[in-house]
A = this chain, B = another copy of it.
Amino acid sequence: MKLILAVVQDQDSNRLSAQLVKHNFRATKLASTGGFLKSGNTTFIIGTEDIRVDKCLQIIKENCQSRDQLVAPVSPMGGNADSYVPYPVEVAVGGATVFVLPIEHFHHF
């Protein structure tokens, strides 16, 4: 058994949850903030057999990998017209920080 601790951005959290359930992984979610990822994030605790660790990492990568996203310009409200960008810009979103930890015992009561 291994314990997988995955910190992912909130925007990827629901999609990752659904895919983990679909592939029979059981996860607990903790609300977390800052640090590894800039905006709000969620920490997943996933227990799994050694043989399924790679499959779990693949699912996390597919659903949370850091990627560029085109963000439509937002009209400036008030006097901030100096910083107004009138065309879509690429911003990096997503990303996951994942720790795989050894487990000495696993119990389900």
Partner of A66 from B36, B65, B66, B109 at Cβ < 8 Å: B109
Oligomer: number of copies: 3
- Bound-state CA distance A101–B1 (Å) is 11
Inter-chain contact B45/A3, CB cutoff 8 Å? no
A23 within 8 A of B: no
Q: Which residues of B contact A108 (CB under 8 A)?
A: 95-98
Inter-chain contact B109/A98, CB cutoff 8 Å? yes
Give the contacts of A2-17 with B (CB-CB under 8 A): 2-3, 5, 7, 17
Partner of A104 from B37, B43, B101, B106 at Cβ < 8 Å: B101
How many residues from A make CB contacts under 8 Å with B? 46
**If the complex has contacts A28-B33, A28-B35, are A109 and B65 also in contact, measured as CB distance less than 8 A?**
yes
Inter-chain contact B30/A26, CB cutoff 8 Å? no
Nearest-Cβ distance from residue A35 to partner chain B, whole angstroms:
4
A91 within 8 A of B: no
Which 5 residue pairs of A and B lie closest in terms of their CB atoms, listed nearest first?
A100-B105, A27-B35, A98-B107, A96-B109, A65-B109
